[in-house]
Structure 1
Amino acid sequence: MTGITIALLVVVAIIVIVLIWAVATYNGFVRLRNLVQEAWRQIDVELNRRHDLIPNLVETVKGYAAHERGVFDDVSRARAAASGAGQSPAQQAASENVLTQALGRLFAVAEAYPVLRASENFQQLQAELTNTEDRIAAGRRFYNANVRTLNTKVESFPSNLIAGAFGFVRAEYFETEDPAVRAAPQVSFGAGDAPAPGAPTV
């Protein structure tokens, strides 16, 4: 075997290794992108559930505090904005944070009405909203973990070469940037009562 033949074999081997790495990296990007999309769809399902609960909650509180029209209008506007289609994860997070603040004011109104807090309908809605918020929080953690993995791979060398060549880009996180919004409104119902969820931040 001549030196030229050996050199050709080495070059071919290097090319094969590079191609195998490129294919594996590309497939890894596809898998991560699909995981991010699937995680976002799960969050979207829970956000829709949250949005569906709010009108019933507003109507229940309105039955005891009809004069608090400004609070009800704020919640309705915030819900409409959060329910709008076509928002990116970052835009959706901003809309949900506004809705969270409006819900905090709604629960603050409910605090002044012991009969409302004791009603079975209100308690059921409160429990359903709390459970939904918990699922959104869990979904957000899963989604953001996948986004972090994808973004790291998009930015790291040499995988960024494949990302640039095939159009894989950073994904947006679903999180709250404003520290004031991160602090979810806390509503105390007294020592003997269960606290309202205060619509935990999503």
Structure 2
Amino acid sequence: MEIIIFFIVFIVLVWIIIITLKNRLIGLKNKVEYANGAVDAMFKQRYDLIPNLVATVKQYMQHESSLLERLVQLRTKAQSPNITDTQKNELNGQIDQAIRSFNISVENYPDLKASEQFTRLQASLNECEGQLAAARRTYNAAVMEYNNGIEMFPTSIFASQMGYQRKEMITATQTEQQNPNVGNLFQ
């Protein structure tokens, strides 16, 4: 009789451990999806700001129209529903670069910098960029925890059974990793 009770207790404990491990993996996956949603929300806010900024700036920056057009094209591509997360991150890296170039170009237009509407839009975009950086850090932390969860024993056994695969972190592009030439900023 004691052996039967011991066996039942053992089976129950094993099931509790299995359920706990699987629930942890599900929680990690959901955390990554939530963090990715926060990044997407910030990208959406950025995308919504870009047309307003471009419309405000067009009248001042006629010479930099190609930069403005590139910014709009990148925004359109990044909002395409058929792109992967990796492609989206690459496009947003290009948008980051275009926004930096745009900000440098603005220095040549004192009337534009004095425009109240431009100043408000620029402040909104800067705030959005700060929130986007925070959302990216949160996403990368969630991905690191998820990747650790699916690769470490014993949860790796269940992760493979559940079809969980390693996620990629958001990383800086080659261009973003290079040191900026500060001298070019003052020309």
Give TM-score scaled by structure 1 length. Answer: 0.81
Q: Does 1:118 align with 2:111?
A: no
Q: 1:169 is matched with which residue: 153, 165, 171? A: 165
Deviations 1:163-202 (A, max 9, x none): 1112222223223242x2246978969xxxxxxxxxxxxx
| Alignment check: 8 A CA contact 1:39 1:142 kept | yes
In the alignment, is residue 71 of structure 1 matched against residue 72 of structure 2? no
| Number of the residue aligned with 1:196 | none
Q: Is the 8 A contact 1:43 1:140 kept in 2?
A: yes
Contact 2:46–2:125 (Cα < 8 Å) also in 1? yes
2:38 matches 1:42 = yes
Instruction: Write out aligned runs for 1:1-202 (5 A).
Output: 6=3, 10-178=6-174, 180-182=175-177
CA distance in 1, matches of 2:40, 2:120: 22
Alpha-carbon spacing, 1:29–1:132, altered in 2? closer, same or farther (3 Å): same
Farther off after superposition, 135-144 or 11-20: 11-20
Q: 1:127 to 1:182 in 2, by over 3 A?
A: farther
Q: Is the 8 A contact 2:35 2:138 kept in 1?
A: yes
Aligned-partner Cα distance in 1 for 2:33–2:157: 22
Equivalent pair of 1:89/1:173 in contact (CA under 8 Å): no
Deviates more, 1:146-155 or 1:88-97: 88-97
Give the AA of the match of 1:141. R
User: What amino acid does structure 1 have at the position aligned with 2:68?
Assistant: F
Which stretch shows the higher mean deviation, 129-138 or 69-78?
Answer: 69-78
* 1:90/1:173 contact within 8 Å kept: no
> Residues 177 and 34 (structure 1 numbering): CA distance in 2 closer, same or farther, change over 3 Å?
same
Q: Aligned in 2, Cα 1:184/1:140: closer, same or farther, shift over 3 Å?
A: farther
Contact (CA 8 Å) 1:89, 1:174: kept in 2 or not? no
Paired-residue identity, %: 34
Q: CA RMSD in A?
A: 2.3
SS in 1 for 2:167: coil
Query: Contact between 2:140 and 2:170, CA under 8 Å: does it hold in 1?
Result: yes
Structure 1's 138 and 94: CA in aligned 2 closer, same or farther, altered over 3 A? same
Seen in structure 2, the aligned counterparts of structure 1 residues 183 and 78 have a Cα distance that, compared at 3 Å, is: farther
Bigger proportion of residues as helix: 2
Asked if the contact 2:28–2:149 (Cα under 8 Å) also holds between the matched residues in 1, the reply is no
Q: Distance in 2 between matches of 1:130 and 1:152?
A: 33
